Structure 1
């Protein structure tokens, strides 16, 4: 604060002025001086704030990676930033006052700039403009500008603001994003395939047992046919050698030709039946593991459930008690393989939950319903149920309550997606009397 000037010596009172009047004058002078000092301090504070604001704006302009051009109504550059100076190879001071059109690399870009400058009703939200700028080496650089009007305090347009990014950087970013997306899609497909193969692997024991019976039957019949073939070869050889009929009778009885001929039809029929059974099993596996999920058609839901029960009980859960109460013969539009995977997963999960909890015996009740064009399957087990904290995450990918190495955490998530793709819903909850309950709802064909 500046030093206060010394007060003037007390003068003798003039005619008509007493001492109190002079004291009032001196007091007013002190008040005016104090106000001047306060105004000077406030002005210094305002100047400091203004400098801070200017420094802040300058730091923002310098930190921007996008190029910035603020020009007046005629297209003369009033303000820019370091990004544009580095791109064009020109100093910021040299850019100010020059025409923005002079930065363009071709006539098409200059025409677009002039068109925007000459458009009075430019959108307040901005207009996208693709131009090419000349870089420091004289090469064209594509830039995607967003042009917005700059208004004064009265709301009148006094210029334009151009903010843009060189397209080369955007293209590189887009290319990286596309590569990451493709990698994510490949990983997702691999995870889906892995979960499907894991589900298929749980059925290997049942498949082996299921195939063993018809194949063993076919092998036994083939061995019998081989023996019969040898006998027939011997007998026909004697006939072709011209042996008399009277001498053939003992050989016919010895080789049991009559019994052989009577047994051939049943052997052939049994062989064909075993081969057909094997073909049906293989066809069922092919339908389950089919890679093409887009092949859709009418699917009998009861048959899918019965097949799923059969596979799980023949495979990993021979002691599982499953009470299946089919509803009306519901037909849904979908792919049999994915729908079978949903049923297999729900039944297998019920077995894991009930057997792991020591239920005696592990039991699952499946009931079918058909109401108002909606097919509903309800799966209820006598396990411990679903913990309340797990209900909200049950269908999240990779969420599992099983020990490490016992599950991928994708089964229910994939099942949820499959049911949703078929226009249905997969719901989960707990029964009032204990045990988990899953409900599959699918639109039925009319």
Structure 2
């Protein structure tokens, strides 16, 4: 391992034999005291041992230096960001594989080349020169410059520039690191989209919880209303029977000539008994119709409640739409006209309550959009296409501003005045439709007005 030899070996190798048979060195120092000679040999051995230790330490440091160099080279080769090391005059001293792949040039061409020549336009080249213009340049963060990529393409890169100092604090150069802005933009877009999706999901969960609580309340109210409605309908039936019996009795009394008297006739005229008997039947019919309509409303509330909001069951979309239109138009202003052109059967699989919520929201938005216009109208039509049903809601309102179309289904976005809209209706409807495997879209029609298109998969036959 070692190239050194001991002092004794060296002395024997370099001491020629004198004429008297003694080594020449011994002949020269023949008159020297033997103790001095031994001390010299001992000192030489110590120096030799020190040299051996220095050689071992040097070899260990060389091995560590090689390991460090290999580690640094592997790190530089693995970096996805570009790296450029320059001297204080801006000449390239070192680059990594990412830059070489990015610009399509070999390192032998890049070494010693001014770093400003890597950039594509005059503005970027001048900005790169400014990095080295000051006597003590400052760090630069997120500076977007155009760099000349392979095949002559100009690619935006976000650069960070940091001064490189010697051990004594003297400026020796600059280190530039950067990442293609396209990747940053894609990552930012993905992060923003994930954030928007998270906010939308949070709002939908919050609204779903509110709607679930409202649904439970409505279900309880509907259950409580059923009892008095049953009493009313039952009593109306009883009154009908009693009225028929009273009518028969009165007719019998006043038709009997023996019992008939002028006083009874006068009383009958004063009390308007005949008028009352004529009105009883229409009054009872109105009470029956009102009670039955109330019962239908209660049934609709029960279907709208949380009992079936998550149930997947066969649903006739035509019936749900008819119910939604009926509910909205009853509370609409005078003159709002809805025309519906649907087949009698539009079977889908899903939740009747959730779909009624979506359809009511679309009809109500059309009602609000056409308010104040002449002859407010909403036209609803359906089309079957490749196993789906496409419902179109076309109104004759002012339409949707182009700037608002991309944000129409965002949570809390609304064009209605404060206090008239929460901005959650369309967002929740969009989520419900997606959960049913469909899509909800909005656009403006060329002739004016808005068009909402609801696409849902039909139930398999």
TM-score (norm 2): 0.48
TM-score (norm 1): 0.50
